[in-house]
């Protein structure tokens, strides 16, 4: 009977300590170092993932990119998205701002199949836009204003055949291309005149 009573007293003391720690948000008591928790990804930045524990305490913390995997990771978004839940993340520290520090070096993450690097895509589009603007300038110096229809055809040709192929063909054509816009305009007027005769 004495053994059972001691166990109950110990359990009650432990519960009281835990309740007190919870009320005062003493993270060192709530989360033991080297314990495991589940977290929800709140934000992804270049140096890591900001997460919040998926428990009653909703404690914030950081999973630094250096503690994410046991290999070089250039972009965490290839593996994780905002809102994802990660189970069995290890608590490795508590910093001065009462935030947890985590590690997932013991876990294995697979790259997402449908991931496309938005920044790389945006840069490629910007570079292509610059090149198309240069092409338009060259053509405008030769023939004047480029219509929206002509600009769309330029873009379609570049998409279908590539920028280098289009540029090489354009250079070849422009070497010998002579245009007299006045003559083209007169021919157009002559064609319309026949409608009225």
**pLDDT tens track for 57-105:** 888 999 998 899 888 888 888 888 889 999 999 999 988 777 899 999 9
Percent of the chain with pLDDT over 90: 20
What CATH number is attached to the domain comprising 95? 2.40.50.140
User: How high is the mean pLDDT of the chain?
Assistant: 79
The DSSP line for 99-121 is -EEEE-TTS--PPPTT---HHHH
Q: Are residues 94 and 141 in the same domain?
A: no
Q: What is the pLDDT of residue 2?
A: 44
Residue 154 has pLDDT above 80, yes or no: yes
Q: Residue 121 and residue 184: Cα distance in Å, rounded?
A: 41
Q: Residue 40 and residue 55: Cα distance in Å, rounded?
A: 10
Cα separations (Å) of 11 from 20, 65, 132, 165? Answer: 14, 39, 74, 78
Tell which residue, 116, 110, 31, has the closest CA to residue 39: 31
Q: Are residues 110 and 127 in the same domain?
A: no
Domain of residue 59 covers: 31-115
Binned at pLDDT 50, 70 and 90, residue 41 comes out as: very high
Strands 60-64 and 48-53: antiparallel
Q: What is the pLDDT of residue 152?
A: 82
pLDDT tens digits for range 181-192: 666 677 778 777
pLDDT tens digits for range 95-136: 877 789 999 999 988 888 765 555 555 555 566 677 777 887
Q: Are residues 107 and 36 in the same domain?
A: yes
**Lowest-confidence segment of 12-26, 85-99, 141-155 by average pLDDT:** 12-26
Q: Are residues 134 and 98 in the same domain?
A: no
Q: Are residues 90 and 20 in the same domain?
A: no
Q: Are residues 87 and 148 in the same domain?
A: no
* Domain's final residue, options 115, 136, 152: 115
Q: Are residues 75 and 131 in the same domain?
A: no
Q: Are residues 192 and 170 in the same domain?
A: yes
* Domain's final residue, options 60, 85, 115: 115
Binned at pLDDT 50, 70 and 90, residue 39 comes out as: very high
Q: Are residues 166 and 155 in the same domain?
A: yes
Q: Are residues 59 and 102 in the same domain?
A: yes
Query: Per the structure, how many domains does the chain have?
Result: 3
Tell me the mean pLDDT in the region 13-26: 61
């Amino acid at each position: 009977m004495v053994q059972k009573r001691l166990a109950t007293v110990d359990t009650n003391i432990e519960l009281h300590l835990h309740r007190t720690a919870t009320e005062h948000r003493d993270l060192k008591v709530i989360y033991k170092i080297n314990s495991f928790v589940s977290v929800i990804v709140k934000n992804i930045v270049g140096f890591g993932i900001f997460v919040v524990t998926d428990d009653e305490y909703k404690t914030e913390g950081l999973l630094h990119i250096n503690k994410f995997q046991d290999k070089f990771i250039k972009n965490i978004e290839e593996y994780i998205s905002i809102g994802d839940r990660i189970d069995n993340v290890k608590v490795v520290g508590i910093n001065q701002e009462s935030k947890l520090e985590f590690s997932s070096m013991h876990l294995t993450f697979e790259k997402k199949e449908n991931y496309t690097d938005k920044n790389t895509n945006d840069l490629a589009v910007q570079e292509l836009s610059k090149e198309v603007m240069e092409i338009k300038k060259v053509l405008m110096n030769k023939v004047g204003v480029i219509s929206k229809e002509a600009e769309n055809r330029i873009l379609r040709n570049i998409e279908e055949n590539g920028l280098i192929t289009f540029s090489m063909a354009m250079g070849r054509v422009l070497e010998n291309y002579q245009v007299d816009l006045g003559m083209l305009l007169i021919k157009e007027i002559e064609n319309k005149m026949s409608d009225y005769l």
